[in-house]
Structure 1
């Protein structure tokens, strides 16, 4: 897959000077690196909060992605709502003008976040003239103002006319913004190309999204013992159960910033494939698929299911709405796992934007998959569940046992995770496993030895 910056902006020509914003034609768009800087290191992970770290830590942990983005020709950088050691990033001249524009020689423009200037003061907007002065002098070039833009214009004019903000600061901002717009060809082609409308949601794009889903899923458990893996699941079974709050809900699959900022629930207003629909279209036509969102244990025990797939997780959220000190799944997720996995062989799929509490329930599960937020293409999930493709994703961060352990990072003295950073299990595809079975199909002692070798190979794959 193409990296995201050249994918959005285009690949700069070989002789193009590194670090200069580049947008390659009308079918490309400006990319934005955000949120500058330290947004992911706030105390207790609270959104818009304070990142307490020395300069060496800030530069070594939080800055490298920005350095790489500038090297690849990123056009814009958005400033974070958060603070660094008590200084609001929207007013941090040392990092915006001194480091980003000075040390890193960034030539694109810097944009505020939504009402970011208002948040410089507490309570927000309590001294807006000061906030405008502090932000523009810090080096912000373009300001995102959804409502009170006339107030901003009046205040900025007043401050400039009063010589509080020098004209060369305004000239710098205008030069940067115009430079990116000229690079985009925005003056030659100011409107969108409507001939590209049919590309939105095209099958080619959905196929790419489906591939991204199956590559991102992480297999965390596969069988109650290493010698008895559950996945891949058989497509042909008399009767299977699909359960859980997230099994038939595209809104939950997509998460926040879908249709609206905080996402949505349900399958209306968006085209896609829920995990339930994906299962129904993947299994053999003779397999009966029964869906119950919250079945009781008697129902599960009395229906003779071959296996069950339970899909649970978080509801959608964005930004501060996602702050949580408990990191628990949506009720009745835990009881669904208990009722189903205590009664039949089960695979649990977790839909979430981050690790959540699963340790109390994991012993009852036969298999566990972290599916993150797979979006509209539920078939990417069944591609790996049923072995058309193998699991290949690995954990992008440590999965804790209990929230009491947090914060917890690799190298900490108390590092004792449920699943460590980078953890993954793998499976061969059905085709791979069939090939191994065929190659092992010899008689006598050699057949027995071949079977043992094949089993060991699968176990090694699971461990590594």
Structure 2
């Protein structure tokens, strides 16, 4: 940013900060969930408490869940913020982590693990831009993306949110931030969030503070040298790209919750790395800091948190922080620093000039141009792991195809978690094309495509080729933590019967490598399709040779769960397919 623009921003921030009371400052540091407003908490609280931000958590949508309904909702909230004494606009945040995935009909892109397979920074930038336009079409101005975690253990339920097991991939694909933020303040740009700072991909199995989880929200037990070498580089890349916000991880570093790590949040992130934006906490995360609520609040704020995501207890947080400031437990200078950072980004992104929503990108929402980008992303994300006898590419002419498997015709499984709802859901959850539909649209009229989810051996006979699409059902965060991840029993049966009767191609639709070692010799071809999103046509494009395979494994594919965690530099490294592996035609 030019020095003159920086100076102008600083001046505007100083001028506004000088007019603010302590109550107004603390209000700016508070983020509430839209569902917090009800009969007990009227929407006028946004005005009366001067709230700085609202969010929609996963699945938190207005009635109808259309772009129009979103714009109306956000504008109503914004009207309250602008009616406060100083008229400071709020910034509305959403978990648009693979497209604007909460909204029905949005373009849903491959999850990050698939983008990591593409190794294509320009494609990531295009995805960021398309997502920003769709977010803008709903009136929101902030996405909690990208996740820059460097996943070290496939048993982690957030593996698919990672671009891969090596920091170079996430550092490169931080280019998605350029797409989100563009030229800040111009139409179709939104604030981006680098998350989760720092080391959430490296937690040790069995250390989670959540009794229902195995890895998520656990403890990253590594030296500072390893933390800096493996987990910090993507955040450096994000800061160089001017990322507006950083979200802190639920996880701990060597026993101390990241939300209370002053050294990392203030000394490293803000001072050493020069981060100028603001730090946002995760959902209810300060409450995981040991101690009573007052201790949790002052510890988090003093550590360097600038805005606190307190979904439903915003009044309690505001009262507590004010009491801590008045008691001298939180310095006024810390409050002023936090609010200055928040205001700076609001000025930078033009929220004061253009606080209300626009329908400028309404026609692009879920439109052909964005879906074309998503289809290209699917094509480039596919990784060919085996192609015995050159069974691929398939012939689209005068061919008899049997399609089987639980994930062949299930859009919800294909899009995965963080789609319409937090955990995602199997079935027809939004607008898109399944892999089966893509296959049917690719073959010519003289061909036959039959679909039997779990065919018998007899049903599998007599075809030119069988395509078995297997994999996971949706999950998100620690709900997806697993000790092992074999194929489902019905998918095992489908592979056995189809591959025993005809030439077969097995496609794995999942958020991580699945254990297929006991059946890989039965398969003529094996393809990792990750979680491709709404554009299943992209899979068919490559299977039938309209595009070649480009993807390379962004993460090690193990032979057995007993090998985990497994990395390319480990002694005795012996995976089924190594990191970086990927065939072509």
Query: Taking structure 2 as the reference length, what is the TM-score of the superposition?
Result: 0.68
Gaps of 5+ in 1: 12-22, 428-464
In structure 2, the CA distance between the partners of 1:238 and 1:74, relative to structure 1 (3 Å rule), is closer
8 Å Cα contact 2:278/2:341 also seen in 1? yes
2:412 matched residue in structure 1: 251
Residues in 2 aligned to 1:343 and 1:323: alpha-carbon distance in whole angstroms:
35
How far did residue 24 of structure 1 move?
Answer: 4.3
Partner of 1:186, secondary structure, is: coil
Any residues of structure 2 matched to 1:439-458 within 5 Å, and which?
Answer: none
8 Å Cα contact 1:26/1:185 also seen in 2? no
Task: Select the residue among 258, 265, 269 that pairs with 1:96.
Answer: 265
1:116 matched residue in structure 2: 285
Task: Select the residue among 239, 242, 249 that pairs with 1:70.
Answer: 239
Task: Select the residue among 381, 390, 393 that pairs with 1:216.
Answer: 381
Residues in 2 aligned to 1:362 and 1:207: alpha-carbon distance in whole angstroms:
33
Query: Taking structure 1 as the reference length, what is the TM-score of the superposition?
Result: 0.86
Task: Tell me if 1:25 matches 2:186.
Answer: yes
Residues in 1 aligned to 2:245 and 2:489: alpha-carbon distance in whole angstroms:
41
8 Å Cα contact 1:216/1:392 also seen in 2? yes
* Higher normalized contact order (CA 8 Å, seq sep 6+, divided by chain length): 2
8 Å Cα contact 2:185/2:350 also seen in 1? no
Higher mean Cα deviation, 326-335 or 288-297? 326-335
Any residues of structure 2 matched to 1:225-244 within 5 Å, and which?
Answer: 228-244=389-405
8 Å Cα contact 1:219/1:370 also seen in 2? yes
8 Å Cα contact 2:384/2:527 also seen in 1? yes
Residues in 1 aligned to 2:488 and 2:324: alpha-carbon distance in whole angstroms:
50
Residues in 1 aligned to 2:327 and 2:487: alpha-carbon distance in whole angstroms:
55
Task: Select the residue among 341, 353, 356 that pairs with 2:514.
Answer: 356
How far did residue 346 of structure 1 move?
Answer: 0.5
Task: Select the residue among 437, 441, 444 that pairs with 1:277.
Answer: 437
What is the alpha-carbon root mean square deviation over aligned residues? 1.1
Task: Select the residue among 347, 359, 368 that pairs with 2:526.
Answer: 368
1:293 matched residue in structure 2: 453
1:320 matched residue in structure 2: 478
2:203 matched residue in structure 1: 42
List per-residue Cα deviations over 1:2-44 (Å, max 9, x = no partner): 3201111115xxxxxxxxxxx2413201111000000100002
Task: Select the residue among 491, 500, 504 that pairs with 1:342.
Answer: 500
1:379 matched residue in structure 2: 537
Residues in 2 aligned to 1:382 and 1:147: alpha-carbon distance in whole angstroms:
45
How far did residue 329 of structure 1 move?
Answer: 2.8
8 Å Cα contact 1:408/1:414 also seen in 2? no
Residues in 2 aligned to 1:90 and 1:329: alpha-carbon distance in whole angstroms:
37
List per-residue Cα deviations over 1:352-378 (Å, max 9, x = no partner): 111110111100001000000010001
Task: Tell me if 1:4 matches 2:162.
Answer: no
Residues in 2 aligned to 1:95 and 1:330: alpha-carbon distance in whole angstroms:
42
List per-residue Cα deviations over 1:148-172 (Å, max 9, x = no partner): 1111111111111101001000000
Task: Tell me if 1:146 matches 2:311.
Answer: yes
1:266 matched residue in structure 2: 427
How far did residue 195 of structure 1 move?
Answer: 2.3
Task: Select the residue among 367, 372, 389 that pairs with 2:547.
Answer: 389
Task: Select the residue among 302, 324, 330 that pairs with 1:137.
Answer: 302
Over 3 Å off, 4+ runs: none
2:556 matched residue in structure 1: 398
How far did residue 328 of structure 1 move?
Answer: 2.2
Q: How many residues align?
A: 405
Residues in 2 aligned to 1:250 and 1:169: alpha-carbon distance in whole angstroms:
47
Gaps of 5+ in 2: 1-121, 126-174, 206-213
8 Å Cα contact 1:315/1:330 also seen in 2? no
Higher mean Cα deviation, 371-380 or 142-151? 142-151
8 Å Cα contact 1:26/1:189 also seen in 2? no
8 Å Cα contact 1:237/1:306 also seen in 2? no
2:91 matched residue in structure 1: none
